[in-house]
Amino acid sequence: MDPVYMRSLVNSLKSYIISPFLFRDRINKILVLLFILVNSIVFFNAVFHYPKAGYDGYSHLEYIRELAVRLPIKGDTREFFSPPLPYFFPSRVYRICHHTEINEEWNGLSIEPCLLSFLLALILSLFPCCNSRTNCR
């Protein structure tokens, strides 16, 4: 790849990531700390919280499984009335897991390699691999 192109790509990604935290052309440290705190709590809950815990945990997982194929209806899950947007990303991960023949049981052992394969597929789709016959620009 062209080094100038890579530098411009890295600089544009940096400005894209940093821009939400800018206030009067300076990074707002309190906003960054709040962002890190909130996302740390979400990450902790995602890793250590058993997904079937709670009175409707299983229904949410049914919703995710069904959304991987189509929009759920009343007979599919008790969470049929929930809007699909928060379930969209997990349903895509589930769909990739299902196609990679990883165990369908949603526990910490089976979702991690699946999530890793999903993130790898996402990265490869955003930054396609280049070979000598293609133009990367």
* pTM (predicted TM-score): 0.49
CB contact at 8 A, 88 and 64: no
Which tens digits make up the pLDDT trace of 75-117? 888 888 888 888 888 888 777 766 555 444 554 445 555 666 6
3-state helix, strand, coil in the chain (%, to 5): 60, 5, 35
> CA of 118: how far to CAs of 18, 50, 111, 113, 127, in Å?
25, 21, 10, 9, 14
Provide the phi-psi class of 20: left if phi over 0, else alpha when psi is between -120 and 50, else beta. alpha
26-52 per-position pLDDT tens digit: 888 999 999 999 999 988 887 777 766
* The token pair that represents 121 in the structure block: 């597929």
State in Å, rounded, how far the first CA of the chain is from the last one: 9
* 27 strand-pairing partners: 22
* Interacting residues of 82 by C-beta distance below 8 A, sequence separation 6+: 60, 63
